Structure 1
Amino acid sequence: MSLATDRDKLQSADKPTLYKQIRIDIERRILTGEWPPGHRIPFEHELMSRYGCSRMTVSKALSELAQADLIERRRKAGTFVRRPTFLSAVLKIADIRAEIGALGRSYGYELIQCSRRTANAADRARLGARKTGKVIAIACRHSADDVPFAIEDRLIDLDAVPEAAAADFATEPPGSWLLHHVPWTEAEHSISAVVADEQAAAALDIAIGAPCLVIDRHTWRSARPLTAVRLLYPGESHKLIARFKGG
């Protein structure tokens, strides 16, 4: 859309004030995906030229968009489309060790099993890997004040993360190690509920059949699978909270 078209279209609209027209136009571009998360919004002088208005008018429109969490203004860098808060809540990868510490509780970690093997069909399906390669399979337990907090079942693709072969998962939780050593570009969370079977009940020190919260997560780097993990929490002592604003 040309600058002249932008200006003419807004001026012909039956709206009370120009800054609201500008805000609505930018908001439309963001919500339709025309300007995706991370996209740099034109600089204020560019918007002034585009809409034929003053800097104050542009600034007022951008301020309202920032208050709505649709954009973020970075000093000296410019203004960018912000990832919606509700997406950030879903995609955030938490460090369980840090999470427990933030609760003011003492963190504990126990490695239950760690093995390296050639990926079988189930491993490849779980990771979404097409080729046969090596994986590390890890089972571990996290505790808070000596009370089981979560059990973790993880696969790491060694072809994608070869440095994991030298990691000491007997002392370092795999999630913490990955967050500090392996960059990722995409993640997916799947959240569900199950009842504890005999093995899970024993690991979490809960009754068989007790409700549990399950988080299945996959991470990729440039479309290449890195890791797949299943985290199982006692349902009565764990919950997920996401606070966000509407558009």
Structure 2
Amino acid sequence: MRPAKEATLHQRILSDIEGRIVSGDWPPGHRIPFEVDMAEHYDCSRMTVNKVLTQLAKAGLIERRKRSGSFVSQPQAQSAVLEIHDIKAEVLSLNVAYAYRLIRCSKRKRRSDDLRRLDVPATASVLEIVCIHHAGLRPFCLEQRLISLTAVPEAANVDFAALAPGPWLINQVPWSAAEHLIRAMPAGAEDAEALEIARGTACLVIERRTWSGAGPITHVRLIYPGDRHALVARFAPEQSRPPN
């Protein structure tokens, strides 16, 4: 095969695969045909197909797994660092289906180990919620939340099996201040099981506390597998100080 013809075929295969991914014909997680099958389909060498798949992998459109083949990559969601974002909106921005599942919800007294998360009196009651958000068939984010029932007593009567706590709080409770803590951590056994990842997998953890004039409202810990989320911060330079 002459180099010019090979280059043209390379571009054709590349365009075909990119088109199927971008159009959604091949959704995230879709297994791409094996190299030998694609080489037969395009009547070319496996080397040509391999070069195309390597280029797509470098561009982040596919991921190649040893002994398993090549798959359409899961797009990475982004959220602004200083915003209280909606996880459902993040998932839908990836053009995949969103699903939510409550793992547990219980009312109890504030424990001593809760104090760092939610600074309420020892006699105060809190609502503890653990839930999982899905993007398509894959777990996307594990949510671990404490709600102060002193600040939000009506939360005790909400069916959080049908409604995620984040959107409900935003719509029901005005807040005046928020604090974000962002860090990386390896997944523990319980978190890894919920997210369906290997124990020790690197995760992005966002912790947020919000307050109203009456005191603390909620603390939430959002745990994302590290390859499924990114944070974005947009800012502008401060205006130059006027000359003395």
Answer yes or no: is the 8 Å Cα contact 1:97–1:176 preserved in 2. Answer: no
Q: 133, 137, 153: which one pairs with 2:128?
A: 137
One-letter code aligned to 1:246: P
Matches within 5 A, 1:55-204: 89-204=80-195
Secondary structure of the residue aligned to 2:221 is: strand
TM-score normalized with structure 1 length: 0.62
**Structure 2 runs not aligned, ≥5 long:** 1-79, 239-244
Q: Give, in whole Å, the separation in 2 of the partners of 1:157 and 1:124.
A: 12
1:66-113 CA-partner distances (Å, limit 9, x unpaired):
xxxxxxxxxxxxxxxxxxxxxxx4331001112212332211101001
Correspondence for 2:52 = none
The structure with more helix, counted as a fraction of residues: 1
Kept in 2, the 8 Å contact 1:95–1:179? The answer is: no
Please, which of 203, 207, 211 is the counterpart of residue 216 of structure 1? Answer: 207
Establish whether residue 243 from structure 1 lines up as the match of residue 237 from structure 2.
Answer: no
* Residue identity in the other structure for 1:166: N
After TM superposition, what 4+ stretches of structure 1 lie above 4 angstroms from structure 2? none
Give structure 1 stretches of 5+ with no counterpart.
Answer: 1-88
Q: 1:32-55: CA deviations, max 9, x gaps? A: xxxxxxxxxxxxxxxxxxxxxxxx
Question: 1:4-39 CA deviation, whole Å, 9 max, x = no partner?
Answer: xxxxxxxxxxxxxxxxxxxxxxxxxxxxxxxxxxxx
* Mean CA deviation greater in 170-179 or 184-193: 170-179
Aligned residues: 160
- Asked if the contact 1:141/1:148 (under 8 Å) is kept, the reply is yes
Report the Cα offset of residue 244 of structure 1: 2.2
Q: SS of 2:222's equivalent?
A: strand
Q: Secondary structure at the residue paired with 2:193?
A: helix
* Kept in 2: contact 1:120–1:132 (CA 8 A): no
Distance (Å, rounded) in 2 between the aligned partners of 1:127 and 1:148: 27
Per the TM alignment, residue 131 of structure 1 is displaced from its structure 2 partner at its CA by 4.7
Deviation string, structure 1 residues 138-164 (Cα, Å, up to 9, x no partner): 000001112110001100000100111
In 2: Cα distance, 1:95 partner to 1:180 partner: 12
Query: C-alpha displacement at 1:129, in angstroms?
Result: 1.5
Deviations 1:159-207 (A, max 9, x none): 1001111211001001111111111000000000001122111111111
Cα drift, residue 223 of structure 1: 5.8
State the Cα RMSD in Å. Answer: 1.6
Question: 1:124 touches 1:132 (CA, 8 Å); kept in 2?
Answer: no
Q: What SS does the aligned partner of 1:230 have? A: strand
Read off the aligned partner of 2:186 and give its amino acid letter.
V
One-letter code of the match for 1:126? Answer: R
Partner SS, residue 230 of structure 2: coil
